[in-house]
Amino acid sequence: MIPGKIAVIEGDITQLTVDAIVNAANTSLLGGGGVDGAIHRAAGPGLLAECRGLNGCKTGDAKITQGYNLPADWVIHTVGPVWRDGNHGEDALLASCYYRSLELAKDYQIRTIAFPAISTGAYGFPPERAARIAVGTVKQVLEGNTTIEQVFFVCFSKLSYNHYRQAVQEILMNKE
């Protein structure tokens, strides 16, 4: 049953002991602000060196590296869309970030994975909408054939935590 496979927590994703954490990266994969900068700082210089060899990443796609100094073995880097107005494919691109990240997790036999709130910071994606897309996409993937045992949505703020808890309640707990 899926509800037990998805958890929402408030905290620092760089401190989580899971198989993989997801980085809300920019297209260069060379670090930036927010969670991206925090992950690069916590992982150390090996992460940047490996990312240099990946030739960037397109919006909606994902690439994987080792975790280096992080408690996670892997970092899955995904590039979320910059919010324009909701009429430029932003929803589909954000869903693709979660889908592609989970595909890589399956390919690498990752059982536990943690996501930040992708695109909701500097990229300006409306946080309630982003949370519903994230939870809905993860639910859809977990309903299929997957080795993933636990997905964490790691929220840096209480407000973000509340958005994800609400999305989980709406999407996972309602009878269909």
- Distance separating alpha carbons of residues 80 and 12, to the nearest angstrom: 19
Q: Does residue 96 contact residue 60 with C-beta atoms inside 8 Å?
A: yes
Tokens representing residue 171 in the block: 């999407």
- Distance separating alpha carbons of residues 29 and 87, to the nearest angstrom: 26
Nearest C-alpha neighbor of 139 from the set 109, 108, 102, 89: 102
Tokens representing residue 37 in the block: 């900068």
Q: Does residue 72 contact residue 47 with C-beta atoms inside 8 Å?
A: no
Reduced to 3 states (helix: H, G, I; strand: E, B; else coil), residue 21 is strand
| Pairing outcome for strands 74-79 and 62-66 | antiparallel
Neighbouring C-beta atoms of residue 142, cutoff 10 Å: 18
Residues with a catalytic annotation lie at 36
